[in-house]
Amino acid sequence: MKKQYLVSVAAIAMAGALSTAAVAGGPVDEKLVIDGEIEMTTRTAPPEGHPLDEVISGWHYRTVETRALEADSFENPGMLGVEDGEQIWNTVEGTEGKSCASCHGDAAETMKDVGAHFPKWDAESSRPINIELQINKCRTERMGAEAYKFDKGGQKPLTAYIKRQSLGTPVSIDLSQGDMQSWWEKGKEMYYTRTGQLNLSCATCHEDHNGQFIRADHLSQGQINGFPTYRLKQGALVSVHNRFRGCIRDTRAEMPAAFSDELMALEVYVTWRGTGLSVETPAVRQ
């Protein structure tokens, strides 16, 4: 009885927080220009069939100080991870005596715009893969190195470095590849399904209540065009599957494993929801 009572109180508190009126009317009306040179698309028209009237980057929902950090690459704390990723890119590992650069050369040229178009269909595994899984595929099949465990080793910095080469490029994924459309549909179902003891879905916060506050956090549309993202709260780069799992944990539901079918489908769908937004990696969020 006591446990049930506590859950009920938590659910009521969460519902109250979500119903709080938006402060300052929602996202700010400013432009993000990186280093005074690269103007980012942070607000754009949605693709056909999108549930929102406008697609808006999470940058617009952050504080003045946080927005300024992302606009200056020298001040952006996530760039330390990008620099680590560059070192990893050029480091020889594995039995084949290769580095990423051995096959792909200068990432600024060969990885330009690549990160804006993941997840992609992988015919060998008959499922979508993201950049993290593509890195592991290259490590095991080309380098003779061990696959990175989730969020371990060089996975986050290397992913951030590769994504950084697409800075400013609009997000766009190809749903005509393989069976991507059915994974999109699975991801959409997951996005709108209420789960956990608090009975919340992704859409509850990021669609129904974006622009409002939940406790001290300003809810955005939940776009993922800036991942891996530097979260000031954690003082580190955070991967997209880490954030998915964190949100699911906060609803008090059982967390799916990283790179599971559930989370890969969700990544396909949520990436599509951000179609047209510039890649911001590494974005800075609270």
Cα-based distances in Å from 92 to 89, 95, 98, 100, 106: 8, 9, 5, 8, 15
| Kind and range of the H or E run holding 43 | strand 43-44
- Who contacts 224 (Cβ-Cβ below 8 Å, separation ≥6)? 240, 243, 267, 270, 271, 274
Nearest Cα to Cα of residue 281 among 155, 159, 118: 159
What is the distance of C-alpha 174 from the center of its chain?
Answer: 17
Nearest Cα to Cα of residue 282 among 83, 30, 121: 83
**Beta-carbon count within 10 A of 118 CB:** 22
For residue 44, the SS3 value is strand
Instruction: Copy the structure tokens of residue 216.
Output: 């001290």
Q: Give the span between the Cα atoms of 123 and 177, in whole angstroms.
A: 9
- Who contacts 204 (Cβ-Cβ below 8 Å, separation ≥6)? 18, 194
Q: Exposed (0-12), middle (13-18) or buried (19+): which is 101, by Cβ within 10 Å?
A: middle
What is the distance of C-alpha 189 from the center of its chain?
Answer: 19
Instruction: Spot the catalytic one: 100, 202, 205, 247.
Output: 247
Tell me the β-bridge partners of 152: none
Query: Does 202 participate in catalysis according to the annotation?
Result: no
Q: Give the span between the Cα atoms of 128 and 89, in whole angstroms.
A: 23
Active-site annotation, residues: 247
